[in-house]
A and B are shown apart, each in its own frame.
Chain A
Amino acid sequence: MTMPLLEVAHLRKLYPLGPPPGLAARLAARAGRPPAPRPVLHAVDDVSFTIGAGESLGLVGESGCGKSTLVAMLCRLSDPSAGTIRFDGRAIADIPARRFARDPDRARIQMVFQDPSDSLNPRHTGFDAIAEPLRRLLGMRSGAVLAARVAETADRVGLPQALLGRLPHQLSGGQKARINIARAIAVEPRLLVLDEPTAALDVSVQAVILQLLDRLRRDLGLSYLFVSHDLNVVRLLCDRVMVMYLGKVMELGPAEDVFHHPRHPYTQALVSAIPGAAAGRIRLSGEPRSPVDPDPRTCRFFGRCPIGTARCAREAPPLVDSGGHLTACHFPGPPEAPASVA
């Protein structure tokens, strides 16, 4: 078996809430009286997965499920609280995010951001945006070489070169999306993280951008982590899909399989909620559990889960592999399966 390009194991991100301990509390702690522990928000909790070379993994989940936190850690924009990230065999989780800008692997992990307008510096032209990573990461100083490379990249993403001199506000949404993609692929990364790349685009442009991304992946041999809340879009571009809920992985498996035969009740609800879905709708009731100091023994989905039994409150289900399709549920299977289990 070949080594996966990205290997994430037991990754965690915890945010302590409330003010840090004051002077009095710290003095008390020194005197032997430890302060009351601060509440901790578990944004990403024990997440493990791999992405193979040339593979495209979809990451699906609703707001607050920890996708953005996970992505920021993978792109080394923030530091994990625990766990390891191995990129091409090298452990990169321990390199502080602050110093990663000058790391040799910086050019090899790139990202396309969600909002094409917000992620372009309003004072930089399209050329500046694409040229900057080339200058900083590949050390391209010569004007002619740089200009040629920018032009080549612009061609690759189908951006007319006449538009390179324009500022972001003079471009349409689709053109800005192309610049964002061009900037990310200019330095020839191996892993491209796509954070809802078409969420801010009109449906009339969405298709071209998705097809462009698909073509780029095959032409350049890229690996994708494709983040989206839209299962319809994820399915089009991904080999495998990972579903997250409140910081935990609920289900991970081949895209078509997860889409057509979801095993986790949350995924089932998610699939059935897609507008235009054929299957009957599964309604989720109740409010989500709090991600602050969650009980490690209770399933994160308990309370909204249509199945939810006493066992789910007592014993959090582990992520179990069954033929390459992983599910974290005591009662995986089609929606109507479990009935008599107490």
Chain B
Amino acid sequence: MAAALLAVDRLSVSFRTRSGVVKALEEVSFAVGRGEMVGLVGESGSGKSVSAYAVMGIQDPAARITGGTMHYSGVDLTAASERDLQDLRGCEMSMIFQSPRTALNPIRTIGRQIADVLLRHSGATTRTARDKAVEALAQVRITDPARRYGAYPFELSGGMCQRVMIAMALACDPQLLILDEPTTGLDVTTQAAIMDLVQELCRARNMGALLITHDLHMAADYCDRLVVMHAGHVVESAAVATLLSNPRHPYTAGLIAATPAPDRGLEAITSIPGSLPDLRGTLPPCRYRQRCTRALPACDLPGLAMTELDTGHLVKCRNPL
């Protein structure tokens, strides 16, 4: 693999809240290559979305990047000016959000919303923007795109709205697409159709994609590599097949064992004991320590880091499986 499209290196983000500083991310590293779909999986509160928002530079005002770097095809995102970031956002890097209905402006037609993005980023003229927007709608397989150009979001189903969001995200030919739980709230059949579409478009354009999801199966179906997060740490990252068949971190193994699968009975699924630790105050080097069944006295020693156990298989654990 050549230089990654997106490289996040030891990124730390903390939130200042009334009740103390929340260390939402600590030394999070992952990379997305061209033409590759990387899945970011973990429970809610594990820091998946915070990572994505930090990459896009749209994090909460209370959030502060306290360390690490993020590079997008050689550009240092942490050092870039707000103006440069604005040019990158929506053009070079695009994001698809969780609830398509609220992400779309309710009083503007969907076609106009796509045209707006084109006018802002691609230097299209008012006339060509319309044609390009119709073309973008056709690409996401919206039937009769010329007529749907004038439709308002409330006239469309949830799946249709998500297609519009995809069309909008892809309108300026981005190189990197971030998908934040893109199919939450959509029906199973719609979810499959949307993800198939995303995968196909990403492959056709040789784009890099980062899929944030809590659904391990969905990530496994569509991604090339998985990055597992727990309480603001990346605990394991590997190619999909390796990770699922041979998880090395106890948390990854726990997640896999907790997920219902077609070939598994009720007694075969197990849950992970405990819950995410409080991310305020001082935390142990391994944030999974309290929930872990394999913990050793050595786990309390500082200096825990990601180790490469196999080629491309990184684990943050002192006692891997």
Contacts and interface: CB of A to CB of B under 8 A. Distances in A.
A281 B196 CA distance: 10
A232 B189 contact: no
B94 to A, nearest CB: 23
Interface stretch (A10-18, A200-208, A316-324): A200-208
Interface in A277-315: 277-278, 281, 283-284, 287-288
A214 B44 CA distance: 25
A95 interface: no
Contacts of B157: 287-288
B188 A204 contact: no
21 contacts: A62-B188, A63-B187, A203-B215, A204-B43, A204-B272, A205-B271, A206-B271, A207-B260, A207-B271, A208-B271, A211-B266, A211-B267, A230-B188, A230-B260, A235-B260, A273-B189, A276-B217, A276-B221, A276-B261, A283-B196, A284-B189
A210 interface: yes
A37 interface: no
Contacts of B255: 203-204
Given A202-B43, A204-B255, A236-B265, A274 B188 contact: yes
B34 interface: no
B44 A202 contact: yes
A208 B274 CA distance: 12
A31 to B, nearest CB: 38
B186 to A, nearest CB: 8
Contact of B217 (A214, A259, A272, A275): A275
A172 B191 contact: no
A273 B195 CA distance: 10
Interface of A: 62-63, 172, 174, 202-208, 210-211, 214, 229-233, 235-237, 259, 269-270, 272-278, 281, 283-284, 287-288
A275 B221 contact: yes
Contact of B262 (A204, A214, A277): A277
Q: Which 7 A-B pairs have the closest CB atoms?
A: A275-B217, A276-B217, A62-B187, A273-B192, A207-B271, A204-B272, A275-B218
Identify whether the interface residues of A are mostly helix, strand, loop, or mixed.
Answer: helix
Contacts of B272: 204
A288 B193 CA distance: 14
Contacts of A269: 189
B73 interface: no
Contact of A229 (B43, B187, B192, B218): B187
B3 interface: no
A237 B265 CA distance: 9
Given A203-B214, A211-B266, A233 B271 contact: no
Interface of B: 43-44, 157-158, 187-193, 196, 214-218, 220-221, 254-255, 258-262, 265-267, 269-272, 275
Contacts of B258: 203-204, 206-207
A273 B187 CA distance: 10
B66 to A, nearest CB: 27
Nearest to A65: B187
Nearest to B43: A202
A126 to B, nearest CB: 17
A283 B189 CA distance: 8
A284 B193 contact: yes
A76 B196 CA distance: 41
Contacts of B275: 172, 174
A224 B298 CA distance: 47
A237 B266 contact: yes
A235 B266 CA distance: 9
Nearest to B46: A202
Contacts of A284: 189, 193
Contacts of A281: 192, 196
Contacts of B259: 203
A203 B266 contact: no
Most chain B CB within a 10 A radius of its CB, from A203, A206, A276: A203
B290 to A, nearest CB: 13
A207 B188 contact: no
Given A232-B260, A277-B262, A203 B189 contact: no
